[in-house]
Every structure is written in C-alpha cells, then in structure tokens.
Structure 1
Amino acid sequence: MEKLSSYTRVEAHLLQKGRLGISKCPNVTYEMLSDMRKEVERCKDLVERSKTRTVSLPTAPSSSNTADTNKRNKRGPVSALEKAWALEDRKHLDALICRAIYSGGVSFNFLRNPYLREAFAFACSRNMQGYLIPGYNRAREGLLKQERRHLETLLDSTKST
C-alpha cells in the first residue's frame, strides 16, 4: 500500500490516477494532462541525473587470480618483486586516498598527519573483512565525545599540578 501524502493525493487527482477513492479532476483537459505528465517525467529525470556517481580511477586493482597476475604487459612479465609488493594495488590505494582528499576539499597537509598515517598502517597490517569507516553521526557525536573524554583524562594530571 502506497503512502498517501498531500502531494500524492494532488498528483493522483490532477494526473487522473484513480487510486484509493481519489477522484479524477474533471477540469483537466487532455493537453493539460499530457503537459503535466511530461513535466513530471522531466523532473524525475533531473532527480535521477543529479544523483552522485563515481568516476572510474586511472588505476585499477589487480585481481587475485594468479593467471591474470602472470600476464605479460607492455614491459614484459610481472616480476616477483611486483607480485610481492602488490604495486598495482598500492597505486590503486594511493589513487583512492587522493580522490577522497580532493573531493572532500581537505588540505594536502592532511597527508602529513601522523594519526592518518597510523590509521592506514594499522588497517593495512590487519585483515578486517567487512570493516566500514565510521559514519558522519558516529564520528561527529560518539567518537568525538570519546576522544574528548580521553584527552581530558590525560590533561587531568597536568591541570592538577
């Protein structure tokens, strides 16, 4: 069952969608009806086009399939060093990090932040399947309060002297 708000009731009345006892508007002509339907479609298209889309990165992650990793490329076969260091995956991760910085309008100095470096080193050294970064509300409310409490306890000894 569809929710009937005032908008959907007016839409059903004017666009002559006979639903759930909503009468069709007798004053709407065929030309007016076709114009309104075109306008509704145009607006739906605008909403669809305005949704955020991701743009592909210039680097792509390598697959875990060993047959693909042993393929010859322009420079020849993949070396043991490239396999060991996962150079393509590293390039892709660098591109993802930089895209996040560019799209968020964050200063390039943020890359020098030791806490950012520590976070990435921690994440890369552990296998945490399914981990998702904290969302907006969790970072803004819960984790911020937790960090503030932690800093206040660290500063208590300094304040008391």
Structure 2
Amino acid sequence: MVFGKKRQRLEGGQSQNQSSPTDGIHDIEEENYPIEVEEAANTSTTINLSASSSANNCKPLLDEVTFTMNGTGRNPGGAKRWICNHCKKSYNSSYSRIHQHFFGPGVGKKSEVARCQTLLTNRAEFQRIRKKVEEAENAGISPSLSKSTLNNSHSRPTSTTCPIAKSFGTVERHQVDILIVRALCANGIPFNVLRNPDFLAMLKGVNQAPKDYKPPSFDRARTTLVDECQRQLEKELTPVKDTWTTQGTSIVSDGWTNVKRQPLINVVASNSRGSMFMYAKDFTGQEKTGKNIAEFLLESIEEVGPSNVLQVVTDNAANCKAAGKEIEKILLPHFYG
C-alpha cells in the first residue's frame, strides 16, 4: 500500500480534485521506493496527516503517527517519512507498514518494519489502539485496507483460530511475567522456585482450570488441603517404603541452618530404590551433644525398623562420633541378642 494519487470525486456531475493530504491512500501490496526527502517550499517540513477526519475514520492509525516529510518518486504520493508517537522512532514507509509497526505482519509474511516496543510493554495502550482499529473495520473499512486489517482471516487469523498467532501473545505474556515476579518478591519467595517442577505443575494446573477458578482460602489451605496433600505424598512414597524390608536402608543425617538462622538436623532414608526425606528437628535452645543427637536418630531408626537399618551416616564432627557410639551401645544387643 502506498500514498497514491489524489482521487477525483464527482459532485453535481462535475469532477473536482481534493487536495487533502490523506486522500488517495490506495493499496499496492509490494513497494520498494527509495527514501527521498524534499522540503516543501515556504512551508514547514512537518506534516500532520491526522488533521483529516475523513481519512482517519477509515485509517485510525494515522492518529498514532506524525508525518514529517512528503515522499517523492514515480508515484505522486510515494512512501512518507513518519514518527511513531509512542516509541518516537522514525521510518519511511506506507500505511501498511504502519499497521505492521503496531500489530506485526500477517501470518506467513516477513515483517518489513520493527514492532513498537513501547506498546509491547503497555497493554492498556495497545488494547486501546487495537479496539479503535477493530471498530473502524467493523464499521466498514476502506477498500484500500483490505490487506491490512485485524479481522482479515486470510492475512491475519485470530488467536482462537491460529495456534501460531496464539503462541506469540508477547504483550500478555510479559504482563503475566511481571505479576509472577512481583508475587515472588512480595512474599520473599526465592527465584529458585521457578525451577521447581511442582511450581511448573501448579501453573499447568491453573492454565487447565475452569475459567472462573479462584485459589483456596487461607483456612482451607492450612487445614484440610495440607492434610490431603500429605496423604497423597505418603501414598506415592509407599513403593519406596516397601523396599526397606527387602533391600534395607541407610539413615543419613546432617545439620544445617535455615534462612531464619534456626539450627536444624534432618533425617533421610536412602537405598537403591531412592531417597526419602523423613523429617527435621529444630535444636534451638538445645545443646547438640552426642547423647541428644543419638536420641534424635534413634527415633528415626525405630520408625524405619531396627532390623531394616544397614548403616547410619552422619557428619564427622566430635559430637556426631559420640552419637554413633551411643547408637552402637543400644542397637548391638538388639542384633546379637
């Protein structure tokens, strides 16, 4: 599409040329005119084509750009130099390229002008412009825009009918990314959660949920739902527990400090079938002596079953060595009678 010759209109049986700067915008799908600049004599080089309300009714994107220079060349109108009112970048093209600047090219076509990055990050403004263009098209677009419309199913299918177009919802995806990062920061959640498979499974479940889905309430989440979640996990870990009696297991324990600076000691049961976290104990206010650590490990040994324990693996600190000797004193008589 290029800015072509002035149209001749017949009024009262006589032809009359109209000199509006936006008249004569007609459709030529492919053009490759060179960039030529010519200053108009005794006039300003800035030309605001949005002054013509009749042209803007069928070409609403003219309100979103400012034309700076007339085009010259084989066509009287030619491609024109314009500046985007949003990203402030200048281009030399026709109206069809303005359409590509705001909405991208049609499916299967190569973009010949860059997208407006400002609108890609401002969803409200993008939706405002899109709605204005769609209303102009639904009201009866100019025949010259038949190849540069949002509602043209042949050149630009909607997201509901074209999976490829649906996958490139750049503005919507960016806004969702911002909401996720904001929620993580507001609740002090580490960014490592984005690598967690359970977090990804949660997002997948939300995407497949009914349209009006709302998250559970605080009271329901911390009572019935967390209990049901625990039962499901225990059911999934049953095949691992069944191998403790046939293959035996190792009790692995280590001490560490969490983000709240609480001294913890955890217990993991591990064998060839897999490792299973059992629990952790907070030793705040307690001295980590060999006797206290031994009593803590004996609780896990009783839960697994003393006859199923092959070994106990701990740190090589002095108190852990003392805990190992305490455990040997208690368990050796159990094995050797």
| TM superposition score category, shorter chain reference | 0.3 to 0.5
Pick the structure with more helix per residue: 1
Q: TM-score, normalised by structure 1?
A: 0.48
Q: TM-score, normalised by structure 2?
A: 0.25
Pick the structure with more strand per residue: 2
Q: Which has the larger radius of gyration?
A: 2
